[in-house]
Chains A and B, each alone.
Chain A
Amino acid sequence: MSSIAVSTTINGDDVEYLCQADETLLDVLRNRLGLMGAKEGCGTGDCGACSTIMDGRVVCSCLVLGAEAEGRSIETIEGMANGNELHPLQSKFIEHAALQCGICTPGFLMAAKALLDVKPDPTEKDIRFWLAGNLCRCTGYDKIVRAVQDAAQEMKGARA
């Protein structure tokens, strides 16, 4: 099978790669680009551990083909912090103990970031339904929801 050449933007950088027609974006990120922050929990779009943001929308990168990234803008967990400055969501996840094993954390952070990008002041219900596509088996979600609420508050304060 011949490879497909793809030009895309990942975390603000221009990136070019070759991939197979049936290769998922998740596999491209992990296996070709070394961006292993996105995790494969299911490969069927049910767990959200591979959540990334494509043109502002949360996607399961296991359900997107690598070739579909052509001309798009992709955000992954590796681009969330600004150098050594963590995104408020990242800080609040650590502060609130919103992770135990941490395997779902990159996916939750990407999904939560996409939420706060479009809805800076979400209710608890907004958060719970927005994050319903991301599975966590350790925390019971309590501390995750609190971390997102607290990050939203802090970001609101920073804007004011």
Chain B
Amino acid sequence: MSFDATYRDKAFKSVGTRPLRPDGVDKVTGRARYGADFNMPGQLVARVLRSPHAHARIKRIDTSRAEAVRGVKAVITAADLPDLTDGDASLLAILDNCMARTKALYDGHAVAAVAAIDEKSAKQALKLIEVEYEILPHVVDVDAAARPDAPILNEAIRTSGVEPAPDTPSNVANRSEFGHGDVDAGFAQADVIVERSYRTEQTHQGYIEPHACVANCNPDGTTDLWVCTQGHFVYRQTCADLLGLEVSKLRVTSSEIGGGFGGKTHVWAEPVALALSRKAGRPVKLVMSREEVFRASGPTSATSIDVKIGAKADGTITAAEATLRYSNGPYADMWAELGAMTSFACYDLENVKTVGFEVLVNRPKVAAYRAPSAPMAAFAVESAVDELAHKIGMDAVEFRIRNAAKEGTRSSYGPVYGPIGIGPTLEAAKAHPHMSAPLGENQGRGMACGFWFNFGGQTCTDLNINADGTVTLAVGTVDVGGSRASLSLIAAEELGIDYQNVKAVVADTATLGYNDMTDGSRGTFSSSMATISAARNAIEVMRRRAALTWDIPVEDVHWEDGHAKAAGSKYDNLSPLSVKEIAAESGNSGGPIAGHSEMVADGAGVSFATHLCDVEVDPETGSTRIVRYTVIQDAGKAVHPAYVEGQYQGGAAQGIGWALNEEYIYGEDGRLQNPGFLDYRIPVCSDLPMIDTQILEIPNPNHPYGVRGVGETSIVPPLAAIANAVSNAVGVRMTHIPMSPPRILAALNADKDG
């Protein structure tokens, strides 16, 4: 059935309210089941042996002594995960990351795994696995790795995207370039130019729930996987591809998920657990420790970015240029490319050029982290933009308004923008009371803008009208932060019934068609579109049932306020039929009533935000405190405003941690020195103030209710907003994230000495 996704202005009854979430009681009573909260009869405990070396050739692995330990039921190495990838390089990289094949490429890289009847036996067995390593020179720093004399991670890699194609190996896997116009000519017209280099350190998504799964391979080939994931359908496909399983026989159930932020869009331990279960013939539970989470999953790129921006004295930017080097871990991806695409996306530029370099280093494989790659690029660009505004003597907000992208602007990444822009968030910032709040001693105010692409994607939803008129909604996008409440609101709105009468659940892979992951801010955007479509299909069925009941043509039945109504004066004697009344008759009017929907929910539209931040810097210790913080972002239409605010606040808090504290610290030996929450310090409650939010609602023309994704953009501006605030507080430009106390002190002292 064709579905019209065009936005139509309407008065909402359910959408925009703040009802209680359907999974709330489970989660406040401890009854909600997360990845590690599931068990199976006869289940074994799995443990993974990880390389202590940053870079080493695996010469020999002897598992015989481990296999002999009482209680050990299976030991696997890469030999138990044969290469079935058929030349698919990205799939092979996933497999190699799950279990090192010829070389350990980072501290924490899995080399073997054990399944045993208990943890003690499993740990004892790990100690008895003998691995003979040939230790190789390593490199963990993004700039050092890009140099020609750096130790090479992968001899087969030649930098792609450069002409002529090089014939020597390099850690620079790819060069990408975006932009338009002539930047040299643009800089020649500039009255003022700011040119600086910036660095950001590697951070982790820091979800509180470690990766966990229970895998069960039966002798008949049927396989179950219980797992915390942002996308169980994607995990099913990837695991089936890696292990040679039939998709229909692998049933993946997504547990409640204890945070993901992009880190649970990639498989890590799941193929290992499946391989162990297959070998042992028993269910296997694999739960990562926090140390393993830090050493072997997740992190975002460390970056080194050069920015040059020129403007005329009147505040018009004439040219902008950025060179971005992003660490990828050991496998080539497109993280710098994303940085290069997003860096100047907020601005209307005649001449712009960005170049991204993907750099391989001996660190864990980089995973997506909330608007991946955009925060670092925004830090560099928005810092330079701020500095340029200061030099010209213009207000930071006014300078951005003057240069803001708007409808018709050619974006720095290529396409021309439709009717959306950074403008409304900047105007809102200008008018916000935050801008006139008084600042105390050692305090400074900063602001920054951010951009992210939002996605839609493949989506499938089932909506069942039960015999009592209540509705069960089965969706395939994992609920990471309240989307079951939002989607229930959407179903209630479209059907014209009460929110309390809708119950949304996340279906497993055997009971619903394929869904893309909850990533790219797509969960509520795409599943709400599919829910509206499913509800409309159910309404069609209910109209037909009403027509049957009344014995009138279906064309004469229309749907209004949750009722089938007979149109026209000749039917005045027919009182409208409610969902409940139609449902009660379903058994003898044609059977169960349901609406199904499968679609590509495209047209998400891009997203912009402006953040305001006040900080106080202690000049004695270099410690920074966030005094005031405001997030302004367009939601299109906030379906459940409390959870939209929550996304804004959560993204800001993660950005604050990134800006001030969080970083991977490696020793000379290439080993991660802070794989725990004590030394990798994410913001705690006493670090933060209340985080103010302003939701703008500029309808998305490509969604029936005007909804936009809201999950990711809020992490993009904080790094720069805080850096600008610190700079305004202490008069020293900070170019290295995180701005931890030692870095700020060093900058202050250097400034004094200089």
Contact = CB atoms under 8 A, between A and B. Distances in A.
Interface of A: 35-44, 46-47, 49, 76-78, 80-81, 86, 90-91, 93-97, 99-106, 109, 125, 127-129, 131-146
B682 A103 contact: no
A103 B28 contact: no
A133 B23 CA distance: 25
B729 to A, nearest CB: 22
Contacts of B25: 86, 90, 94
A71 to B, nearest CB: 24
Contacts of B205: 137
B678 A103 contact: no
A47 B30 CA distance: 17
A101 B711 CA distance: 13
Contacts of A133: 684
Interface residues of B, number: 56
A128 B686 contact: yes
Interface stretch (B255-263, B386-394, B528-536): B255-263
Nearest to A131: B685
A139 B261 contact: no
A6 to B, nearest CB: 19
B628 interface: no
B643 A93 contact: no
Nearest to B23: A102
A94 B24 contact: yes
B685 A128 contact: yes
Contact of A103 (B20, B209, B646): B209
Contact of A135 (B481, B646, B682, B691): B682
A101 B37 CA distance: 15
Interface stretch (B449-457, B581-589, B648-656): B648-656
Nearest to A146: B690
Contact of B208 (A97, A136, A142): A136
Contacts of B256: 101-103
A86 B27 CA distance: 12
Nearest to B32: A102
Contacts of B290: 41-44, 46-47
28 contacts: A36-B30, A38-B30, A39-B36, A39-B209, A40-B210, A41-B209, A43-B290, A44-B677, A49-B208, A76-B30, A86-B29, A90-B25, A94-B21, A96-B642, A97-B646, A100-B646, A100-B650, A101-B209, A101-B256, A101-B257, A106-B28, A109-B28, A127-B685, A129-B685, A131-B684, A140-B653, A140-B691, A143-B649
Residue of B27, B287, B481 contacting most chain A CB atoms (<10 Å): B27
Given A101-B259, A132-B686, A44 B29 contact: no
Given A97-B646, A127-B685, A137-B205, 10 more contacts: A37-B29, A47-B290, A97-B21, A101-B256, A102-B28, A128-B686, A135-B684, A141-B685, A142-B690, A145-B690
B31 interface: yes
A98 to B, nearest CB: 9
Contacts of A129: 685-686
A127 B261 CA distance: 26
Contacts of A36: 30, 33, 36-37
A141 B653 contact: yes
A138 B690 contact: no
B513 interface: no
Interface in B652-703: 652-654, 676-678, 682-688, 690-691
A35 B258 CA distance: 18
Interface string B193-237: 000000000000111111000000000000000000000000000
A90 B26 CA distance: 10
Contacts of B259: 100-101, 103, 137-138
Contacts of B36: 36, 39-40
Nearest to A49: B208
B27 A105 contact: yes
Nearest to B482: A100
Nearest to B290: A42
Contact of B650 (A39, A49, A138, A145): A138
A96 B28 CA distance: 12
Residue of B259, B482, B676 contacting most chain A CB atoms (<10 Å): B259
